[in-house]
Amino acid sequence: MIHLTPRWRKKRPRWRNFLPSNIKQRTLGSIALEMAWVATGRLDAAAWYRTHDWDVAAGMLIIQESGGAGCHIMNGGKGEILACSAHSLHLLQPLRDCLEDHGASVGIVNEGTSR
């Protein structure tokens, strides 16, 4: 399951074409909860739009410590973040490639070392 905020879906509608048709999309309403779910593997990946550093700093650390990874998407919108759980790291590169194909510049924020 992947989490996409409503703003993300509106901002990047073509990006959704990359996702498998059977993937579930859900919005929980709490970045902290969504990041915790990514860290535990309950969510495979998540994307957020218009975040602030204080919204995501602890969550990205938890994701990193659990072996997951996160990306900051530059020249998109303010505070665009993408994260994958440790068991879904295989999704990260295709998602980054897709975003770059649509004009975004993607940089690694962190990568987990625990596996």
Q: Rounded to two decimals, what is the model's pTM?
A: 0.75
* Local structure of 107: helix, strand or coil: strand
> Which CATH number does the domain housing residue 66 bear?
3.40.190.80
Of the candidates 41, 93, 43, 48, which has an alpha carbon nearest to the alpha carbon of residue 67? 41
What integer best gives the mean pLDDT of the chain?
78
| Full domain range(s) for residue 70 | 2-111
Contact 87, 37 (CB under 8 A): no
Question: How many domains does the chain fold into?
Answer: 1
Which residues, in sequence order, are CB contacts of 73 under 8 Å at separation 6+? 80, 81, 82, 99, 104, 105, 106
Question: Of 80, 72, 1, 84, which is closest to residue 35 (Cα–Cα)?
Answer: 84
10-63 pLDDT per residue, tens = 666 666 666 656 666 666 778 899 999 999 999 888 888 788 888 899 999 999
Q: 115 pLDDT band (50/70/90 cuts)? A: very low
Residue scoring higher pLDDT (58 or 102): 58
Q: For position 27, what pLDDT does the model report?
A: 67
